[in-house]
Structure 1
Amino acid sequence: MDTASPEAARALPRRSSVLALLALLVVGLAAVLLTSSPTPLTTDAPADVFSAGRATTHIEAVAAEPRTLGSPAHSAAREYLVGELEALGWRTSVKSGVGWYSPTDGATQRGARVHNIVALFPGTDPTGTVVLAAHYDTVRGSPGAADDGIGIGTVLESARAITAGPAPRNDVIVLLTDGEEDGLLGSQMFTQTRSPSLGPTVVLNHEARGNAGIPVTFRITDPNGTLVETLAHAPGANADSFTQFGFEVLPNDTDFKHFAAAGFHAYDTAIARGSAYYHSPLDTPDRLSHESLQQMGDATLTVARELVESDLTALDSGGEDVVTAAPWGLIHYPRWVEFVLTGLLVAAVGWLVAARIRRGEATYWTVAAATGVSAVAVGVAALAAWLPWFIAMRLAPGMASPVTSEPYRPDVYQLAAVVAAAGVLVTTYLWARTRLPAASLVVGAFVLIAFTSVIALPYVGVASVLVLPALPALAGIQIARFLTDRPPLPTLSVAVGAVPAALLLVPAVVVSFDAGLMFGAPLAGVFVAVLFSLTLVLWEAVLPSSATRVGRISVTQTAGTAVVASVLVCVLVAGYLNRDGATDPRLEHLWYALDSDRDTAIWASPDSPRSEWSRELLVDPASPLTAEFPWRDEPMAHGPAPVAPLQAPEMEVLDDTAAGGARELRLRLSSPRGANAVGLWVDSTTATVHGATVDGHRAEPADDFGFRFWAAGPEGVEVTLTLSVLEDRVGLRLIDLSDDLSVVPGYEPPTDRVVMAPTVVVSRSLRI
């Protein structure tokens, strides 16, 4: 096919196009730098401002060791936090009770005795309540300086600054929830037992999935119009409706879930960079970004101060806004505007298609083919961006965190992802240009963007990710067609039209990686593809002709080879930077299970062995270990272990009655060795559970009934079961669970490895 169409005669000058692309890259990188975090303020900062230095004092106090439910460190942290709030003059209390989580898939239920810290600063003329929320418990083995020390520090320092200012109009509550890590238990109890005196309530919830990065308000309840407008006034605030959509398709959750379900208005804000440290023993105060802490605190204090002086009864009247972040602040507009903008894009693209076909620069067939090529290119770019890290993990799995599959130093892997995606797009374009007119390829890219925007409209904010950069870019291209007789102006028009794309999409590529390489790299590849599509007119002028050859190799083959070589170099450099011994200690899971009935023990891990040390312990092939770990069905690597002298959990039968084919058991479970949690599972071949209460809280009946209960204490926990009996005796499986592997004889962790979520389980079986 002859591609030397009238479009080729009007191609932009190569030199000016190169300069335009470089300028757009500079604009995009400048936008990334402009969103960097502020300089942390020290402890001598003015009393009415947020100080990361003062907030760090609280984080260091509570994050010296893990705060697992029922542990001494957990109790000590609670006492410290209560004391600090009382010292500020807030009316502080500890609300205790049972929090419970029943998974909808019938898996093991979870509960705990939780102790929420609630402190009130009464308003002068309240219209409602502003709640500053974080959680103070941690997973096993992690001191939780980020998760959720950053939330604790933000909340306490914001509370101090509010106290130092004028008396607020609305009531303000500091809520430090308990049991978040094992099923959002504290927030569930708080919302179910909340006081009616709260009135209209807005919650600022704080979280972390890493130890650095820009704090992003990734979820806001609807109606969100007033909340978004308030957030937009905060320095360094970052929010995005697309991020909310992305988070909601993931299995993760936060206390926000219960706040929203209870009808509260709420923000959910978190940092996510540095996720290799998430839930790790290395989540320590010295590794937490003070810049991120300062930025989170600045935004929280500004939003809280505005809300405490607002009429909170008006929050329900706010509309539904779409929001996205720009270097200068938040862009937000009513939801109906997103429909209008998408309609304008569809109309403009339709006009573009008709005009190019009318001028003979394209046909319906070539536009359709180009649209298909663009769709394939986007998919392959996303795959190519994901592939370098996927391959690296297969070659050296020890580099990746067992929780987030992220290395300590991901930057060069991120560069490899961007290079791979861009390389696929350039190579695909060079290949397609030998088969389709350049004009059709440009039009096809815009058709794909418009079509995707339309099908994304049901999901708030997703269409805007494409429409906001595409409309100006399309306008720049169309204006350039009327300036062909004035050589510098067409290139300038296209470049100016693409500036919004650079401002929005280059930061989007960078922020995508906060989701981690496994999830963020493919998304970054998609954003690279969108940016490439919107600047395709410039690339068409810059890239060599498809007929160009380097020796006997075509330009397409040359480009492909260069891309593969570049990605390979990036992967090798990244692997060297993340080599064993060059970073913080690598992370491993290691669990221990003692079967007290058989007096046998095993080592186990939910992951494959990641080092010579763990391979020596986990010598047997992975298989389900439901007897040792009744809450897990997935295969686990394992191997024999020494038998530790640990007491088994105990069960006392308090009452046993039978009537009409049903049997009711009242039991007390306890852990003589003082483990953090106890658990009970009913053998479904011997009985079916029709009703159950645990520590007075109703559990969901199930054919395969089981639960884990944290912080039962020395007195244990009382359980009532109503059963239909299938055999003469009911089979029960008991466990208790702690987190100190040093109780195992001969256990010596290597100095170059850190064990995540250390677990010690002692089990026994009973038939009654």
Structure 2
Amino acid sequence: MLGLIVLVVIGINHTYPTKPPSLAASLSSFSSTRAMSHVWKIASKPHPTGTYDNEVVRNYIVGELFKLGLKPEVQSTFVVNPQKQYAGRVYNIIVRLPGQHSGKALLLSAHYDSVHTGPGAADDGASVAAILETFRALKTNKPLQNEVIGLFTDSEESGLLGAEAFVNEHPLAKEIGLVLNFEYRGNRGAFMMFETSQGNGKLVQGLACAVPFVMANSLMYEVYKRLPNDTDFTVFKKAGIPGMNFAAIEGLTAYHTQLDRPDLLDQGTLQQEGEIMLNLVGYFGDASLSDLKAADRVYFDLPGLGIMHYPASWSVKLALLLLLFFVSILACACMKQIAGLKAVLTVGALFPIICLVLALSGHGLWHAVLKFHPEYLTFVQGDTYNSLWYLLAFVMINIGLFRIIQAWVSRWFQLFEIVLGVMTFLMLLNLLSAIGLPGASFVLFWPLASLAVAIGIIIFTGNNNYRSFAALVPVFLGGIPGVIIFTILIKSIYVALTAHMISVVMVCLAIVLGLLTLLMEIAGYYRVLVGLCFLAGFSALVAGSATSSFDSSRPRQQSLFYVFDNQSQQAFWLSSDTQPDPWTASFFNKVTEMQALPVLYSDRPSIGWMSVAPVFSSAVPKMSLQEDIVKVNGRHVKIRIETSKHAVKQKIVLDGADVLYSKINGQRYTDSRQSTWAINAVGLRDEELVIEFLVEPEKTFTVKVKETAYGFENIINSMPSYLINSPVVQNNTRSIISVLKFDKH
């Protein structure tokens, strides 16, 4: 049992970053201390696209690049992204570090804009700082073979517009052989490689050589291949540029909030990011980038061993070989009457039910916690400040529950029937994984393979005394891969999906406990283990409750935004909070129940609070009709919108008629029939927006424009220190809506 605890500790420790170096780090190495000086400058305040503070950050980055003796370029362009329904003016920063030879270049990418609800120290100021520090370190060494390009994109948080502008408009985009994109979805934890382009064989091999200590596995690759996701890397991948995407994801409660501050950024995480970046540049900077596409590989990392990898095409073959080996073990066990085939198959059929029981247990426990602590629902991200207490609680309680179920099952089945039954189900699951999700096959294959060898040694040698030292050694060694892999997996999945998806984590726990059935039986002390597990689990629940309160260091999230409707000449306070804090509730004193919020007011269909507000003086969006002509193919309408001085974002919606074709500032936006048409424009400041529609004739329709500015300075009193704005796009904003009505022509 002590050995298992040691293995779990090793696995958990692997999910934490390296320690930052001393102040005396050499000039040729990466120093998080030096990089932090940039983070403090970049993340002194929020700097979303189109704001003055965004311009200040841009000028700082350009100035620092000039100090390094480089010649940065600012790409200024208007770009549209129809898939994201965004358009706007962006200012990308591009810098080149020449190589010794011509050829494909290596691109380092990070975005320098932030959301308006947080200063962006981690997301993505830390990555910007890491690139600056990496370029400084590169300048101290001899030039690499390949050119290295630094890309600091604008407007990643608003429709990935900066990356779209670079890929579609900048001539350097065609010279890129490899892109390395760096992101944050938290402010701490191990820096991981979580996504690659398709055909990742050479990339994974290079990663394993350059930075074997990085967290990476092809399970994440399989998941991200099938899910829509929103980082700049999405744009590069769609353009067919080979690359890898990196991020730190722990500390989700800081993501896109005022807690994303420099003083709360884990310097160990930043140090690990920088070391990964610098080592990868060193490796790929001297490698051929002309043809990096190769067959996908299965890959995963292990503590102390680095990244293990092999061709994904091997997955099915390995799964079949393992299945044949297992069948021989099962046949031998049946021949020696150690197990009965019918009993083994029965246990195999029961095991997914046991997995379901643990999943439901975890789900039920979390919902019970929410009954006691409904304030946890205020966290938009789904995480809580004390979430690791709940992970410990769910794991320990469900280990105890599993042992109880295991003891109950053992009344009807022999030990090896249970062990082989669990393995039968998992062998079939492993084969299905190898066929359908080859990148995920390592999760089951290696734990099963090592356990099969251990069980095979016992059964083939006829050592029926499974408690003997001769049996204990192979069983313990056979359990090592499963414990290590699943410890890392359980922690990573919990951090990624939060407690709201605890059922997925509990299925993983059930699988590894099933693999450890024989080892737990050898360990004995059934009642003691169950008692200790329940004691530890419920103690962790108590610790979670004891640390659930909010204060200035662990503030509560709240929602409040303001809308003035110019058509009705009415203003409103709005909130999407289900249970508003007393400070927020004070804006809704005369409101007794929640209601459906107008979609344009809240940016999405939602339920919330809405009350009449004072009308604050502010400029109304100016719309002028430039053209309204009916032709054979439809009604042609051109509108000019003048951006107000303080507005940083506009949302334009057309209601009442289908749009057949549209342009934004002369660029094609849609070219097929749209029953709902909308566009979000950012970064325009004093720039005009010209929109052209081709709509159905003989229709009455309206064009609504919502202009948005950030913050309530000089309008309301400041929030209490125990509150922060929740990371939702409309929070902490004031908007003005104007309507232009079109009658039938």
Interval containing the TM-score (normalised by the shorter chain): over 0.9
Matched residue, 1:549 = none
Pick one of 17, 35, 52 that aligns with 2:32: 52
Are the equivalent residues in 1 in contact too, given 2:145–2:286 (CA < 8 A)?
yes
SS at match of 1:632: coil
Are the equivalent residues in 2 in contact too, given 1:235–1:299 (CA < 8 A)?
no
Supply the distance in 2 between the matched residues of 1:573 and 1:206 (Cα, whole angstroms).
Answer: 35
TM-score by length of 1: 0.90
Structure 2 counterparts to residues 130-209 of structure 1, below 5 A = 130-195=106-171, 198-199=174-175, 201-209=177-185
- Quote the offset at 1:642 in angstroms: 2.9
Are the equivalent residues in 2 in contact too, given 1:276–1:401 (CA < 8 A)?
no
SS at match of 1:656: strand
- Quote the offset at 1:35 in angstroms: 5.6
Q: 1:389 to 1:248 in 2, by over 3 A?
A: farther
Which amino acid in the other structure matches residue 605 of structure 1? S
Are the equivalent residues in 2 in contact too, given 1:668–1:716 (CA < 8 A)?
yes
SS at match of 1:298: helix
Moved more, 55-64 or 491-500: 491-500
Moved more, 116-125 or 375-384: 375-384
Supply the distance in 1 between the matched residues of 2:580 and 2:225 (Cα, whole angstroms).
Answer: 31
Supply the distance in 1 between the matched residues of 2:173 and 2:667 (Cα, whole angstroms).
Answer: 25
Matched residue, 2:402 = 425
Supply the distance in 1 between the matched residues of 2:531 and 2:451 (Cα, whole angstroms).
Answer: 31
Q: Does 1:697 align with 2:667?
A: yes
Are the equivalent residues in 2 in contact too, given 1:322–1:460 (CA < 8 A)?
yes
Matched residue, 2:194 = 218
SS at match of 1:434: coil
SS at match of 1:276: helix
Matched residue, 2:688 = 716
Pick one of 615, 620, 629 that aligns with 1:643: 615
- Quote the offset at 1:244 in angstroms: 2.1
Supply the distance in 2 between the matched residues of 1:401 and 1:76 (Cα, whole angstroms).
Answer: 33
SS at match of 1:132: strand
Pick one of 111, 114, 129 that aligns with 2:90: 114
- Quote the offset at 1:141 in angstroms: 1.7
- Quote the offset at 1:42 in angstroms: 4.8
Structure 2 counterparts to residues 476-515 of structure 1, below 5 A = 476-481=454-459, 482=461, 483-484=463-464, 487-515=468-496
Supply the distance in 2 between the matched residues of 1:401 and 1:298 (Cα, whole angstroms).
Answer: 36
Give CA deviations for 1:396-442 in whole Å, capped at 9, x if unaligned: 23345633111112221110121133233212212222233322211
Give CA deviations for 1:313-369 in whole Å, capped at 9, x if unaligned: 2413x3321110100211111112322321222122222332333333433432222
Give CA deviations for 1:435-458 in whole Å, capped at 9, x if unaligned: 333222111110121111111122
Supply the distance in 2 between the matched residues of 1:197 and 1:419 (Cα, whole angstroms).
Answer: 51
Q: 1:157 to 1:520 in 2, by over 3 A?
A: farther
Are the equivalent residues in 1 in contact too, given 2:638–2:692 (CA < 8 A)?
yes
Supply the distance in 1 between the matched residues of 2:239 and 2:82 (Cα, whole angstroms).
Answer: 17
- Quote the offset at 1:519 in angstroms: 5.7
Structure 2 counterparts to residues 580-659 of structure 1, below 5 A = 580-581=550-551, 583-618=553-588, 619=591, 621-626=593-598, 628-629=600-601, 631-659=603-631
Matched residue, 1:548 = none
Structure 2 counterparts to residues 263-412 of structure 1, below 5 A = 263-316=240-293, 318-328=294-304, 329-399=306-376, 402-412=379-389
Q: 1:422 to 1:755 in 2, by over 3 A?
A: same
Which amino acid in the other structure matches residue 37 of structure 1? P
Which amino acid in the other structure matches residue 662 of structure 1? G
- Quote the offset at 1:670 in angstroms: 2.5
Q: 1:74 to 1:391 in 2, by over 3 A?
A: farther
Are the equivalent residues in 2 in contact too, given 1:400–1:407 (CA < 8 A)?
no
Q: Does 1:668 align with 2:668?
A: no
Structure 2 counterparts to residues 530-609 of structure 1, below 5 A = 530-543=511-524, 567-581=537-551, 583-609=553-579
Give CA deviations for 1:467-510 in whole Å, capped at 9, x if unaligned: 11111112112212324479311111211111222232222222
Supply the distance in 2 between the matched residues of 1:617 and 1:355 (Cα, whole angstroms).
Answer: 74
Which amino acid in the other structure matches residue 90 of structure 1? L
Supply the distance in 1 between the matched residues of 2:26 and 2:539 (Cα, whole angstroms).
Answer: 49
Q: Does 1:254 align with 2:228?
A: no
Which amino acid in the other structure matches residue 540 of structure 1? E
Matched residue, 2:203 = 227
- Quote the offset at 1:197 in angstroms: 7.4
Supply the distance in 2 between the matched residues of 1:408 and 1:517 (Cα, whole angstroms).
Answer: 11
Are the equivalent residues in 1 in contact too, given 2:146–2:285 (CA < 8 A)?
yes
Give CA deviations for 1:95-138 in whole Å, capped at 9, x if unaligned: 122333334xxxx8222211111111121203211001001111
Matched residue, 1:750 = 720
Matched residue, 2:708 = 737
Pick one of 66, 78, 82 that aligns with 2:58: 78
- Quote the offset at 1:269 in angstroms: 0.3
Q: 1:562 to 1:27 in 2, by over 3 A?
A: closer
Moved more, 670-679 or 297-306: 670-679
Pick one of 500, 507, 510 that aligns with 1:526: 507
Supply the distance in 1 between the matched residues of 2:225 and 2:594 (Cα, whole angstroms).
Answer: 32
Give CA deviations for 1:256-294 in whole Å, capped at 9, x if unaligned: 111111111111000011111001111000000000000
Which amino acid in the other structure matches residue 69 of structure 1? T
Q: What's the Cα RMSD here?
A: 2.4
TM-score by length of 2: 0.92
- Quote the offset at 1:563 in angstroms: 6.2
Are the equivalent residues in 2 in contact too, given 1:595–1:762 (CA < 8 A)?
yes
SS at match of 1:502: helix
Name stretches of at least 5 consecutive residues in structure 2 with no aligned partner. Answer: none
Matched residue, 1:682 = 654
Supply the distance in 2 between the matched residues of 1:34 and 1:692 (Cα, whole angstroms).
Answer: 52
Supply the distance in 1 between the matched residues of 2:363 and 2:127 (Cα, whole angstroms).
Answer: 31
Supply the distance in 2 between the matched residues of 1:605 and 1:283 (Cα, whole angstroms).
Answer: 23
Which amino acid in the other structure matches residue 404 of structure 2? T
Identity of aligned residues (%): 25
Q: 1:36 to 1:281 in 2, by over 3 A?
A: closer
